[in-house]
Structure 1
Amino acid sequence: MAPVKDEFGPYGKPIFDSPTARSVSRVAVIDIGSNSIRLVVFDGAARSPAYFFNEKVMAGLGQGTGETGRLNPEGKARGLATLRRFAHLARDMKAGPVICVATAAMRDAEDGPAYRAELEAATGLRIEVVDGCEEARLSAQGVFVGWPGAKGVVCDIGGSSMELARVSDGQVGERVTSPLGPLRLQSVKGGRKAVKALVRATVAELAQRIGVGEKRLFLVGGSWRAIARIDMERRGYPLNVLHEYRMTPTDVRETVKYIDATGIDTLRAQTGIGEARMALIPLAGLVLREVTRALKPRELAISSYGIREGVLWDQMPQELRERDPLIEACRFMEQKDARQPGFGRALFHFIEPLFKGDGTKRLRIVRAACLLHDVNWRAHPDYRHEACFDSATRANLGGLTHRERVFLGLALLHRYKGSREGTRLMETVSILDETERAEAEVLGRAMRFGAMFSSAAPISKGELRWFPKKRVLELWLTDEAQDLFTEVAEARFNALSDALGAQTQVKRLRRRAEAAG
């Protein structure tokens, strides 16, 4: 009988039992990089898994490898201790399987194979050492977890290497790898001038192979995230969520100048970035500036998802990959935390007529809001609106731009609170323009009315009809619903009409409305 590895591929038996799998329970992925070693335990919705546990150690395995050809002895000791701890934690959390992937430092160092054997013997883990093209593929697939329709070039930087991969239509295309990790660049002799020359020549060669002019460059890796965090600080950006943060080529140039002109200690105090990571940022900034210049993207987007999520994507059946990560995550949260799981779908069908002309993208956010409208019901009533806003704007949700994230949060705020003025959230809300803020308020007030109008399926009790040109909002009630539409319900209905700037008409349905299918 062939060994398990040959039966199922390098990462072991598939996690998901069938194409209809909807959740994943405590799957652990260990990423052994040149600079850091990280354990992530995933849990939750299979298409949009959450981080049940996330720990990183800056072991520095690749420190000095460019000069010696061998792994950093101190890094090896820290790495062994870290892997022992991670294996123990995974067992205690009953995580299974545990997938271990090692990248540039272990594949390039002459003592990499011996160190791998030592780690496996000490921990009982099986470690897959991937080559540069495989690392690029996994990182690019990780981007698909957050962006199902990602199109452009993925740029993944580690401590000892940098990879590029083209992505489109859910597929990873051309892939290239290079030794442009900042740990590796520290060993280049000849000072900053020599480093610049090496980076420029290498990036020019990579650009010829991968192509230029794609609209979007997706950035994966801790050094890129740190630069984005500094860019946020420089610009005074009000939302400290790195995933889906966008920069222009001009932003990159200005931030690299800002990094070069500002002391490391000052940057650390401003951003909270760790000492080991910050030491690499000037070199990483040099690389990013050159990559941006050579590849000529119109914008750069930060991805919090990378090689670890790419391992999960590798094991998903196509039917699962095609699900919407935002909606899947919201469904999971509703099932786990709402008082009446399933009511979000009924609420969506009830208020959907108000948003018929808004297009697929906006209806998707409306659906997500309905699924999340009740997941924070345990919060204190005085702070529930803030808890709702925070859960949307700071949660681990893929498939959302920052504007959509804030729109969703503001709609959920208005689900529980009529006014947003005077809250601590106004700075973040400034990401939206006035039209978007008004539309989010309409959505929130619609959910507020629908959720209290009927505790079952509101569409079986009445129908909303919206005539935007006439600015008329009609509510058609069944005979059964007459008892439901009393003082409190009427007040919520009137608040919705005020947000729409509409006149209201309440009419009687002569037959019972059909329940939502």
Structure 2
Amino acid sequence: MKAVRQAVIDIGSNTVRLVVYAGLPRAPLPIYNEKSRVKLGACLAGDGIIDKATMKKALAALARFETLARAMKVDTMRVVATAATREAKNGHELVEKAAALGIHVEVLDGDAEATAAGFGILSDNPHANGYVGDLGGGSLELIRISDGKLGTRVSLPLGTLRHDILKGKTTKQITQMLRDDIAKAMGKAGFPIETGLPFYMIGGSWRTFARLHMHHSGYPLTILSNYEMPADAPEMMMAMVNDKDALTRSNVVATGRISALPGANALLAGISGLLKPSKLVTSIYGLREGLLFEQLTPAERQDDPLIAAARFEGERLGRFPFHGDALAQWIAPVFAGQSPNDARLCRAACLLSDSVWNVNPEYRADHALDLALDGSWPGVNASDRAVIAAALWTVHAGKRTLPEMLTALATPGALAQAVIWGLAIRLAHRLDGGTGGALADSRIDGDGTTLRLHLTGSAVRLQSNSVQRRLQALGEALGYAQAEILG
């Protein structure tokens, strides 16, 4: 899969936004993100007409963003408009005036918007099984997803700009309103409800709520991607969300989001009452990423986005001809029988293990830790990040004692396993200097009491005391009484 540069301009109800992505199509990495707060959707609460000043502002933003994208030499660019444009009485004027500027705007209908949102979640979590909610300024889309496919979906006129209708309503009343609106749009049996499944949240207001929950619970990271909350979090946080002074004092809620947060939280509580989800999962992926995902072939959609992203970054940042996959295969015999998710996290660590060589040696372990914890990695939760971080920390620190923050994110057993991955990778790096040149002429295995490193061909000449020490460290971590080099 070849690296490409792609742009999406999203004309939403609150903002017009440009995002430019680079990297592999299966794991696009945002490299530029800019928005203009136009508020096209304000008309939806009034006469339904976009006024001249707002129209002018929207067109100016479009002209700027299209020019920027061209200057960034994107391979593809897609410009889409959602609820505000399609529902405004003069939305067609925006499309026509954009066309006069040489900008083609696609107006997505409710189903297309819901489809893109669902695909956005699947681009990040291809095996997700649950419901997706995409809360924009003009509409709320609900989508059932499972086994990498989209199921039933519905678009409702319940965007943040329309939340005045929620004021004074209890959670039970909002839940009933959702039932009624869904029945009106699709019929009573049109949108099957299955309880006990995850609910994936898309939208700036819900991401703000998740950020507030992080702050309130003392969560050690600020990474919103796949941040999980209990289903009753909206009810538990209701008092704080409705306290403007408390929100201001928190220093985690942007001033522009404070007014929209109570309605977004009330709606989320109502959805929890409707779906009774097992958990709430925050997503930084959504409509824009879903539009890119739609363009992939069925085979490309099946690729693991984490592995694609780690492979791309590992090859870009490594010192020598890339061999991260070969390294993963080399250490695999030592960890036979591990779960599929453990195997993918181990592979990701292998792919990234040579990515901080240009950092001062005293700080490589810290930078490797940050790379795993803070990187824009798709398809991982906080525990997964911590596990990869533990492996990379061990590769570069050579210590089995991990930074304390990792223990707050993953279980002791998962971290202990990751440390052993790190020791195995560390051994391979020392054996051939990180070049991968000895992997074909060497292998590691054990017989119950002794861990052995077998060397053949030119790899026989690579024996050293430091290689023996690293083999010994790995053997001890695996519980072997002895470790020896044969060759």
**In which range does the TM-score fall when normalised by the shorter chain?**
over 0.9
Alignment equivalent of 2:157, drawn from 176, 179, 182: 179
User: Normalised by the size of structure 2, how large is the TM-score?
Assistant: 0.92
Which one-letter code corresponds to 1:362 in the other structure? D
Which runs of at least 4 in structure 1 moved beyond 6 Å after TM superposition? 195-198
Equivalence for 1:45? 24
Please give the secondary structure, in 1, of the residue aligned with 2:446: strand
Alignment equivalent of 1:493, drawn from 450, 459, 471: 471
Which one-letter code corresponds to 2:73 in the other structure? K
Q: Which moved more, 1:476-485 or 1:30-39?
A: 476-485
Query: Take 2:398 and 2:3, find their aligned partners in 1: how far apart are those partners?
Result: 37
Query: Take 1:24 and 1:91, find their aligned partners in 2: how far apart are those partners?
Result: 17
Whether the aligned pair in 2 keeps the contact of 1:153 and 1:214 (CA below 8 Å) is no
Query: CA offsets per residue over residues 148-171 of structure 1, 9 Å max, x none?
Result: 112211110001110111112222
Equivalence for 1:115? 94
User: Structure 1: 5+ residue runs without aligned partners?
Assistant: 1-21, 510-517
Please give the secondary structure, in 2, of the residue aligned with 1:23: coil
Matched, 1:309 2:289: yes
Alignment equivalent of 1:473, drawn from 440, 451, 457: 451
Matched, 1:84 2:59: no
Please give the secondary structure, in 2, of the residue aligned with 1:167: strand
Number of matched residues?
A: 478
CA displacement at 1:354 relative to structure 2: 1.6
- CA 1:506–1:479: 2 relative to 1, 3 Å: farther
CA displacement at 1:457 relative to structure 2: 3.6
% of aligned pairs identical? 33
Q: Which moved more, 1:356-365 or 1:209-218?
A: 209-218
Which one-letter code corresponds to 1:65 in the other structure? L
The equivalences for 1:121-160 within 5 A come to 121-122=100-101, 124-160=102-138
Matched, 1:435 2:409: no
CA displacement at 1:194 relative to structure 2: 5.6
Query: Take 2:196 and 2:108, find their aligned partners in 1: how far apart are those partners?
Result: 27
CA displacement at 1:320 relative to structure 2: 1.1
Query: Take 1:93 and 1:151, find their aligned partners in 2: how far apart are those partners?
Result: 37
Alignment equivalent of 2:199, drawn from 217, 222, 227: 217
Which one-letter code corresponds to 1:210 in the other structure? F
Equivalence for 1:16? none
CA displacement at 1:35 relative to structure 2: 1.0
Query: Take 2:4 and 2:485, find their aligned partners in 1: how far apart are those partners?
Result: 49
Query: Take 1:439 and 1:53, find their aligned partners in 2: how far apart are those partners?
Result: 36
Query: Take 1:276 and 1:215, find their aligned partners in 2: how far apart are those partners?
Result: 32
- CA 1:284–1:266: 2 relative to 1, 3 Å: same
Query: Take 2:322 and 2:380, find their aligned partners in 1: how far apart are those partners?
Result: 22
Equivalence for 1:404? 384
Equivalence for 2:266? 286
The equivalences for 1:26-105 within 5 A come to 26-71=5-50, 74-105=53-84
Whether the aligned pair in 2 keeps the contact of 1:182 and 1:284 (CA below 8 Å) is yes
Query: Take 2:441 and 2:3, find their aligned partners in 1: how far apart are those partners?
Result: 37
CA displacement at 1:74 relative to structure 2: 4.8
Please give the secondary structure, in 2, of the residue aligned with 1:40: strand
Please give the secondary structure, in 2, of the residue aligned with 1:51: strand
Equivalence for 2:177? 202
Whether the aligned pair in 2 keeps the contact of 1:239 and 1:428 (CA below 8 Å) is no
Alignment equivalent of 2:325, drawn from 332, 340, 345: 345
Query: Take 2:319 and 2:452, find their aligned partners in 1: how far apart are those partners?
Result: 29
Query: Take 1:393 and 1:219, find their aligned partners in 2: how far apart are those partners?
Result: 21
User: Structure 2: 5+ residue runs without aligned partners?
Assistant: none
CA displacement at 1:229 relative to structure 2: 0.8
Matched, 1:277 2:257: yes
Structure 1 vs Structure 2 CA RMSD: 2.2
Query: CA offsets per residue over residues 61-112 of structure 1, 9 Å max, x none?
Result: 1125222212355543432221121011011111232201111111111121
User: Normalised by the size of structure 1, how large is the TM-score?
Assistant: 0.87
Q: Which moved more, 1:43-52 or 1:90-99?
A: 90-99
Query: Take 2:169 and 2:338, find their aligned partners in 1: how far apart are those partners?
Result: 54
- CA 1:271–1:75: 2 relative to 1, 3 Å: farther
Which one-letter code corresponds to 2:399 in the other structure? S
Matched, 1:370 2:350: yes
- CA 1:111–1:94: 2 relative to 1, 3 Å: same
Alignment equivalent of 1:506, drawn from 480, 484, 487: 484
Query: Take 2:33 and 2:204, find their aligned partners in 1: how far apart are those partners?
Result: 14
Whether the aligned pair in 2 keeps the contact of 1:353 and 1:466 (CA below 8 Å) is no
Query: Take 1:477 and 1:28, find their aligned partners in 2: how far apart are those partners?
Result: 49
Whether the aligned pair in 2 keeps the contact of 1:62 and 1:184 (CA below 8 Å) is no
Equivalence for 1:193? 168
CA displacement at 1:404 relative to structure 2: 1.0
Query: Take 2:449 and 2:159, find their aligned partners in 1: how far apart are those partners?
Result: 58
Please give the secondary structure, in 1, of the residue aligned with 2:103: coil
Which one-letter code corresponds to 2:373 in the other structure? T
Query: CA offsets per residue over residues 421-446 of structure 1, 9 Å max, x none?
Result: 5x8x5324421222222111111111
Equivalence for 1:483? 461
Query: Take 1:326 and 1:100, find their aligned partners in 2: how far apart are those partners?
Result: 27
Query: CA offsets per residue over residues 417-473 of structure 1, 9 Å max, x none?
Result: 02375x8x5324421222222111111111111111123343333221135xx4642
Please give the secondary structure, in 1, of the residue aligned with 2:213: helix
Query: Take 2:204 and 2:321, find their aligned partners in 1: how far apart are those partners?
Result: 37
- CA 1:36–1:197: 2 relative to 1, 3 Å: farther
Equivalence for 2:213? 231
- CA 1:73–1:267: 2 relative to 1, 3 Å: farther
CA displacement at 1:146 relative to structure 2: 0.3
Please give the secondary structure, in 2, of the residue aligned with 1:28: strand
Which one-letter code corresponds to 1:182 in the other structure? T
Query: CA offsets per residue over residues 322-361 of structure 1, 9 Å max, x none?
Result: 1111111112112211112332122112211121121222
CA displacement at 1:269 relative to structure 2: 5.0
Please give the secondary structure, in 2, of the residue aligned with 1:53: strand
Please give the secondary structure, in 1, of the residue aligned with 2:326: helix
CA displacement at 1:248 relative to structure 2: 1.5
Whether the aligned pair in 2 keeps the contact of 1:180 and 1:199 (CA below 8 Å) is no
Query: Take 1:93 and 1:269, find their aligned partners in 2: how far apart are those partners?
Result: 39
CA displacement at 1:37 relative to structure 2: 1.6
- CA 1:197–1:495: 2 relative to 1, 3 Å: closer
